[in-house]
A and B are shown apart, each in its own frame.
Chain A
Amino acid sequence: MLDERRARMSESPIPSDFIHVESKLDGITVYAPASRVENIPDARDFKCPNCGATTAYSPRAASVTCSNCGSVYAIHADNVGRGAAEFEFTLETVKQAETYSAPEVLRGWGVTRRELHCESCGANTSVAPTELSTTCPFCASNRVAARTAMPEIFRPRFLIPFQIERDACARFSREWLKRGWMYPSDLVRVAYNAQFTGIYLSFWTFSARVQAAWRAEVGREKTEQFFDMSEMKFKTRHRLEWKWEQGQVALPFDDELQTGTTRISASLLKRLAPYQLNALVTYEPSYLAGWRAQSYEISLNDAWDAARGRMREIARDACDEQIDSNHVRNFSMNAAFDDEAWRLLLLPAYLATYKFAGKSYQIVINGQTGKVAGDKPVAWTKVWLIVGILILPGILLAAVALVLGALHFGTGGWFVLGGFLFVVGAVIAVILIQQAMRAGEA
């Protein structure tokens, strides 16, 4: 009887996608879902199945195209947008991030360089572990490495594809170079020849909830009346009344971008923002075909330290805003982080370097929005000329008035006017100089 029932019971199967795993108790077997391993080859060559020529991702077609025969190959990736999966800071993740945070490991020095084999011509190209794609120097074939020398968890899983054509870069950069009067006149002509390279740069995004609690002594001005015995009358005086106050702030942070590369200055990359993360798609090597891509050089832990530092400062500002007085002392606060999560993204950018007067300047263009950021040389002769024009009239007028005054002409009014013009000119000149200094970095 029991055997019959046993037979009947055994008809209820374990789900077919489950695999046998270790059991820690006799008499009980355990099955778990087979882990979904993404079937991404270590490296992939991009050749046109139609004509055998090299194919590359085209922003215009949003597909892989063959420049030889014009074939277009659609890319099958999911548009996940801001809903792209985020990862927790598990102890295992943090430990792996620590292991792979040494600069020599991140830059590929001290570890074996990866060799990418070209299927087209058979050449082996040695690349740094952080390079995700390469073009064969012998036959110009495009090859994309889906995996880096980093652990699986730090493999890029999402990216924003290039939406700006390489041809448009010259126009964007020319417009940007033309902007402003304090730059050399021949800057556009010299920089026009700059060659733009499309590259996917690594960025980390961080999300967290911050609960901040502050406590401080806040001084409030009180007006009170008192009787002045010496003058025998009531007077008014102001005094600060200090009281301990406290408050709380809850701040959600969502998708805070933090650069993962050290090759371009953080301030330059910051000026490239914003990237529209709604356009995030799942990682697909085809998007990298014909484009350079670089894995991260700033480790997760270091990037998170920087992002966390920014978040806590924002939280401190929010706490400050709650205090409606300028008199604050003994301020202290606690910021508790919760629901921390991270992602590794590849975001598109065009890079170019041009030389002017023997010095190199960098231009970066957001590959999604076309926003330009970079360095421009300042024509200081132009700036000083304008400064001179601004302050000279005041000086001259004052000087003339002084001389005429010495000859007993009544020119006191003119002297005052000259002084006034000088002050106004000087103020405007200082502003202009500051603008010029900033423009040198903009």
Chain B
Amino acid sequence: MNADTSPRELDAAWGNVHPVHCKNCRAGFLIPANAGAPVCPNCLAARLEPLPALEADAPPELVIPFSVSDATLDANLERWRRDIPFRSPSLNVSALRANLKRFFIPMYLADASAFGTWHAQMGFDYLVASSEERFDGSGWVTQRLNETRVRWEPRAGELTRKYENVSAPALEQHARMMLALGASNWREPPFDTSRSIRFSADALNGAIVRVPDIAPNAAWQFARAQIERVAARECETASGAQHHEQFSLRAAYGEPHWTLLLLPMSVTHYIGDDGKFIPVRVNGQSGFVSGIKRASMQRARNWTIVIALVALLAFFLTALLGIAGALNDAFVIPALLVLLATFFLCLAAPAPLIAAWQFNRQNAEK
């Protein structure tokens, strides 16, 4: 990033955007000048309000463009919503697509050279011969087996390496967002950074940009931790080992360089029973969909009421058939059958409420 760029050059680089922020979640954004006052794509709880000054003064260097096709997006949204019982009326693919808003979130890529000494316990796989014996009455049959075991040995050494494009968070919410966008480990962003392109105002294509809330200096500790993790794996490779533990690195770092990268992300929502927006996030590159899955207790309750009413009707019918049965034996068996049906309907009536409650409990936001 170049901090010596003039304000005019910055404006030209960013294009026609102006800074806004959300008073609810305090997230800062850059939105196209003609975007009006959209709802905050981060919390979906307030509208974005203009800010007097641009907080992120230097434009990013790289951007990963949106690359999810409509068909993939529809399929992923459908797959995501499919297992939600008693879905709210707004939880359908067309409504989710209609509410979809594209925006970019920032992330740093750090380059640095490292020089130092390392120590670790390295694990080396080796094979041992074992066996399994089978007796089936006619005699023993031996089956030879090879088992892989790990031998741990101490190793040490010196390291002089250059590390490039080490990811570091530019947002406080980075870890949560990476997990929401499909990362199994928040330190490994779920994006193919090799498909990034140089930033230009056109690359934004009218999307909102989230402004970093962590400065590069503050992000260094994360970058360094990431470098140490990469270095540990490299030392493992250098040792010819397959595992490592207790890795420690005493290193000096030089020639640091920071790159700001924009990651594509979409957010949409559906409306909960309480009228609030429930966000659904989509990875703009892979199409991975995540969000809180919530069954509509209102719809479940409606189903419960319907079943209960049918049960009530069945009960009255039982009573009528019962009275008729007292006069004529032909009505006794139908009365008993309807009584049985009433009994099962009574049992089934609370089932929708219980199922919805159980589902919401299992999928509650951690």
Sample of 17 more A-B contacts, CB < 8 Å, known A30-B238, A334-B133? A2-B255, A6-B115, A14-B158, A15-B156, A21-B239, A22-B240, A27-B159, A28-B157, A29-B238, A30-B156, A31-B156, A89-B130, A312-B140, A316-B135, A332-B135, A335-B133, A337-B132
**Binary contact readout A270-311 vs B (1 if CB under 8 angstroms, 0 otherwise):** 000000000000000000000000000000000000001100
| B137:A331 contact, CB within 8 angstroms | yes
Contact of A28 among B135, B137, B161, B255 (CB under 8 A): B161
The answer to whether residues A33 and B153 also contact, given A10-B117, A24-B237 and a CB cut-off of 8 A, is: yes
| B153:A32 contact, CB within 8 angstroms | yes
Tell me the A1-53 residues at the B interface (CB within 8 Å): 1-2, 5-6, 8-10, 12-15, 18, 21-25, 27-33
In angstroms, how far is the closest chain A Cβ from the Cβ of B141? Answer: 10
Contact of B155 among A24, A32, A90, A334 (CB under 8 A): A32
Inside 8 A of B133's CB, which chain A residues have their CB?
308, 312, 334-337
Inside 8 A of A175's CB, which chain B residues have their CB?
none
Interface check B128, CB cutoff 8 A:
yes
Tell me the B114-166 residues at the A interface (CB within 8 Å): 115-117, 126-137, 140, 146, 149, 153-161
In angstroms, how far is the closest chain A Cβ from the Cβ of B43? Answer: 43
Q: Which residues of A contact B (CB under 8 A)?
A: 1-2, 5-6, 8-10, 12-15, 18, 21-25, 27-33, 88-91, 94, 308-309, 312, 316, 330-338, 340
Tell me the B56-113 residues at the A interface (CB within 8 Å): none
| A90:B126 contact, CB within 8 angstroms | yes
Interface centre among B129, B136, B146, B154 (most CB of A within 10 A): B129
* 22 CB-based A-B contacts, threshold 8 Å: A8-B252, A9-B250, A12-B116, A12-B250, A13-B117, A14-B156, A14-B157, A23-B157, A23-B238, A25-B234, A27-B161, A28-B161, A33-B153, A89-B129, A91-B126, A91-B128, A91-B129, A312-B140, A331-B135, A332-B135, A334-B135, A335-B132
- Give the distance in Å from the alpha carbon of A336 to the alpha carbon of B134 in the complex: 9
| B250:A24 contact, CB within 8 angstroms | no
Q: Which residues of B contact A (CB under 8 A)?
A: 115-117, 126-137, 140, 146, 149, 153-161, 234-235, 237-240, 250-252, 254-255
Contact of B252 among A6, A88, A309, A330 (CB under 8 A): A6
The answer to whether residues A28 and B238 also contact, given A90-B126, A308-B133, A340-B130 and a CB cut-off of 8 A, is: yes
| A333:B238 contact, CB within 8 angstroms | no
The answer to whether residues A2 and B254 also contact, given A90-B126, A337-B132 and a CB cut-off of 8 A, is: yes
Interface centre among B116, B133, B134, B149 (most CB of A within 10 A): B133
- CB-nearest residue of chain B to A88: B128
In angstroms, how far is the closest chain A Cβ from the Cβ of B328? Answer: 47
* Secondary structure call for the B interface: strand
In angstroms, how far is the closest chain A Cβ from the Cβ of B142? Answer: 8
| A91:B117 contact, CB within 8 angstroms | no
Inside 8 A of B137's CB, which chain A residues have their CB?
330-332
In angstroms, how far is the closest chain A Cβ from the Cβ of B161? Answer: 4
In angstroms, how far is the closest chain B Cβ from the Cβ of A97? Answer: 10
Inside 8 A of A333's CB, which chain B residues have their CB?
134-135
In angstroms, how far is the closest chain A Cβ from the Cβ of B10? Answer: 30
- Give the distance in Å from the alpha carbon of A90 to the alpha carbon of B234 in the complex: 27
Contact of A90 among B127, B136, B160, B161 (CB under 8 A): B127
- Give the distance in Å from the alpha carbon of A308 to the alpha carbon of B142 in the complex: 10
In angstroms, how far is the closest chain B Cβ from the Cβ of A249? Answer: 13
The answer to whether residues A9 and B252 also contact, given A30-B238, A91-B129 and a CB cut-off of 8 A, is: yes
Inside 8 A of A1's CB, which chain B residues have their CB?
254
The answer to whether residues A332 and B153 also contact, given A8-B252, A337-B130 and a CB cut-off of 8 A, is: no
- Give the distance in Å from the alpha carbon of A57 to the alpha carbon of B234 in the complex: 54
| A27:B135 contact, CB within 8 angstroms | no
The answer to whether residues A337 and B157 also contact, given A9-B250, A28-B235 and a CB cut-off of 8 A, is: no
- Give the distance in Å from the alpha carbon of A3 to the alpha carbon of B114 in the complex: 11
- Give the distance in Å from the alpha carbon of A334 to the alpha carbon of B252 in the complex: 57
Inside 8 A of B131's CB, which chain A residues have their CB?
308, 337
In angstroms, how far is the closest chain A Cβ from the Cβ of B287? Answer: 36
Inside 8 A of A308's CB, which chain B residues have their CB?
131, 133
- Give the distance in Å from the alpha carbon of A351 to the alpha carbon of B234 in the complex: 60
Inside 8 A of A94's CB, which chain B residues have their CB?
129
Inside 8 A of A29's CB, which chain B residues have their CB?
157-159, 238
In angstroms, how far is the closest chain A Cβ from the Cβ of B126? Answer: 6
Q: Please list the 10 inter-chain residue pairs (A to B) with the smallest Cβ-Cβ separation, ordered nearest first.
A: A5-B252, A2-B254, A25-B238, A28-B238, A335-B133, A27-B161, A23-B238, A30-B157, A29-B157, A332-B136
Inside 8 A of B132's CB, which chain A residues have their CB?
334-337
Inside 8 A of B127's CB, which chain A residues have their CB?
90-91
The answer to whether residues A9 and B135 also contact, given A30-B157, A31-B157, A340-B130 and a CB cut-off of 8 A, is: no
Inside 8 A of B239's CB, which chain A residues have their CB?
21, 23-24, 30, 32
- Give the distance in Å from the alpha carbon of A335 to the alpha carbon of B237 in the complex: 38
